Amino acid sequence: MCGRFVSATPPDQLAKYFGAEAPAEERLLPENHNVAPTQAVYTVYEHGGVRRLDTFHWGLVPFWAKDPKIGNRMINARGETLAEKNSYKRPFAKRRCVIPADGFYEWKKVEGQKKKQPMYMSRVDGEPLAFAGLWEVWKDPNHVDDEGDPMELYSCTIITGEPNDKVAEVHDRMPVILPPDVWDAWLDRDNHDTDSLGQLLVPAPSQLITLHPVSTDVNNVRNNGPELIEPAPLVSDD
């Protein structure tokens, strides 16, 4: 799974990197070195024929949901079953996105230790990761905007799949990371060929990823700052 990641690249740089329109000023987010579920995250998606970078709620809320809290359980979507699950098959066919990240955390079991070792994973070249994702719009029947229309919640989920050899040493799942040459096909809302789209959901090459142990300070979501991704000694129960 992917339950924590880093979003520190400035939005204007992200927009340029992904060839997207930058978000409005009121939609900008601060640097976050400990992004957690239900927080706002940057998302690249297409709307009205335009590629945009905007902020979405992390935790997908299906359009049919009665309560948006259902999104708390939908921060990740298994790539192997997207076309089968009621929550994901519609956005898989029509509403795919990319969720940018500077890196992500996973926790590794350490032989002889009760504590798990947090590990930070990022691209070897320092460029942003492009997590494959899905997005949806949920209309709140209990709240309306100034025009009298239901308030809308834009939400997203990160797609996970089998790990590559390097990540497999830490965890049995990893986010699907899309290379630049498939972004157009993935984001194209007129592309409904879920069979071919599913073939894009493969592990990123091991040589793309570098990883190292970091402090257990990352375990607490209230901790934030660039020091969280600095290499740290291995954990100990002492």
Question: Which amino acids are annotated catalytic?
Answer: 2, 106
Which residue type is seen at 23?
Answer: P
Kindly compute the dihedral angle of the four CA atoms of residues 102, 89, 85, 206, in this order, to the nearest 10 degrees. -30
Q: Enter the DSSP assignment of 229.
A: G
Q: What contacts 229, CB < 8 A, 6 or more positions away?
A: 6, 33, 103, 120, 122, 214
Kindly compute the dihedral angle of the four CA atoms of residues 204, 205, 210, 215, in this order, to the nearest 10 degrees. 40
Phi, psi of 197 (to 5 degrees): -65, -35
Q: Enter the DSSP assignment of 26.
A: G
Q: CA 4, CA 219: separation in Å to the nearest integer? A: 9
C-alpha distance from residue 209 to each of 129, 177, 214 (Å): 10, 10, 16
Task: List the Cα angle 26/32/34 in 5-degree steps.
Answer: 140
